[in-house]
Chains A and B, each alone.
Chain A
Amino acid sequence: MFKRLDALKRCLPVIGDAPCIVSVGMTWIEWDRLRPNDGNFALKTLGSGSSVGLGLALSLPHRKILILDGDGACLMNVNGLITVGHKQPKNLIHVVWENKVWECSGGVPAQTGQNLDLVTVAKGAGIKNAQRVGTIEAFEAALKSAFAGDGPHFIVAETAPGDEDSSTAYARLEEVDNKYRFTRYLEKIEGKKLREDAIDIRLSLH
């Protein structure tokens, strides 16, 4: 078992400018301090990481998309793994920090600490490149390999719960601000306009 914060630090040189979809809670707090960058989208719906990441990966198939997720969050949307397994996006990399507790919900033990193996679930869903890593070196190697080759990739990292009290942690970004920053970031790295707010449907009716 290793620290999530240390593993997040190891991510920085590997991921380059990859857009990151980040789970609500301490994963976001720690990541936002390390990479206070408009290329992060801070989820609010627990478990929605695999789904938002999939929608983005299918829409930008040439670009690697990284999901930083928690085990509790992942459990709340196991359906998302089924859909990733079905669509097989080559550019999607899903990292799950498995601390075996509902960290942001008071540290109550999670099912991942008992009978459940998320790697088996992911493989059963058709995500062949699913693996468990128990050391930070193995994590870094798995992440590098995921960025170098076709996915979808699913990496369960056995990490300890964080040291901070998550109930008082501060989230830097307001949601709508996050939306605009993230979209502009994607426009910058894609080199083209993506955002459209006002639409006059008559333009597309002819």
Chain B
Amino acid sequence: MPSVENARAIIQAMKRAGIGLVASLPDAALAKLVMEIDADNELIHVPLSREEEGVGVCAGGFFAGKRCALLMQNAGFLNACNGLTTTALQFEIPMVLLILYAGTRGDMAFPQLGVVTEPVLDALRIPYYILETLDQAPEMIGGALVQAYNAKRPVAVLMKKAIF
């Protein structure tokens, strides 16, 4: 079961990276994290109903000087691909993609998603890193943000279910 403590550790890592706006759609493994983000008064939380919206929301936040993250499952990442291509990549807009990595090694859910996720990220030239343990979160989320701003594009952190 996802724990509130682990969710708060991820939020702390996001805040240390200066992230101020999070657009999200839940996965069962992300439920605690989404609810903790919603309860946090320091973060602007935008609950979505389709992930591609989140690319636009993060772009709007970026123009106003917010560091933005889009939190979703990898099925949602696939839903967001046109927005990522024609908004985030076309306009060179940085954002951090926090992606719950379903169907990866050891996870029996959505095996096809697990197979295609990294090749699609490669095809979009979106750099990505795999978060295997919670203690890597501050460096990896902060590092992703640095790379996103300096490379002027989205950077993804693929989060394994085990960390929640």
Q: Are B142 and A204 in contact (CB under 8 A)?
A: yes
Q: How many residues of A contact B (CB 8 A)?
A: 43
A201-B56 contact given A48-B87, A79-B49, A186-B63, CB 8 Å threshold: no
- Find the A residue at minimum CB distance from B20: A59
Q: Are B65 and A79 in contact (CB under 8 A)?
A: no
Looking at chain A's contact residues, the main secondary structure is: helix
A55-B146 contact given A183-B63, A205-B16, CB 8 Å threshold: no
Taking CB atoms, residues of chain A closer than 8 Å to B47 are 83, 86
Scoring B residues 103 to 133 as 1 if CB is less than 8 Å from chain A, else 0, what string do you get?
Answer: 0000000000000000000000000000000
Taking CB atoms, residues of chain B closer than 8 Å to A86 are 47
Distance of B20 from chain A, by nearest CB (Å):
8
Q: Are B55 and A59 in contact (CB under 8 A)?
A: no
- Find the B residue at minimum CB distance from A192: B65
Q: Are A204 and B65 in contact (CB under 8 A)?
A: no
Which 5 residue pairs spanning A and B have beta carbons closest together?
A55-B60, A51-B56, A59-B64, A194-B65, A56-B60
Give the B-binding residues of A (Cβ under 8 A): 21, 41, 43-45, 48-60, 77, 79-80, 82-83, 86-87, 175-176, 178-179, 182-183, 186, 193-201, 204-205
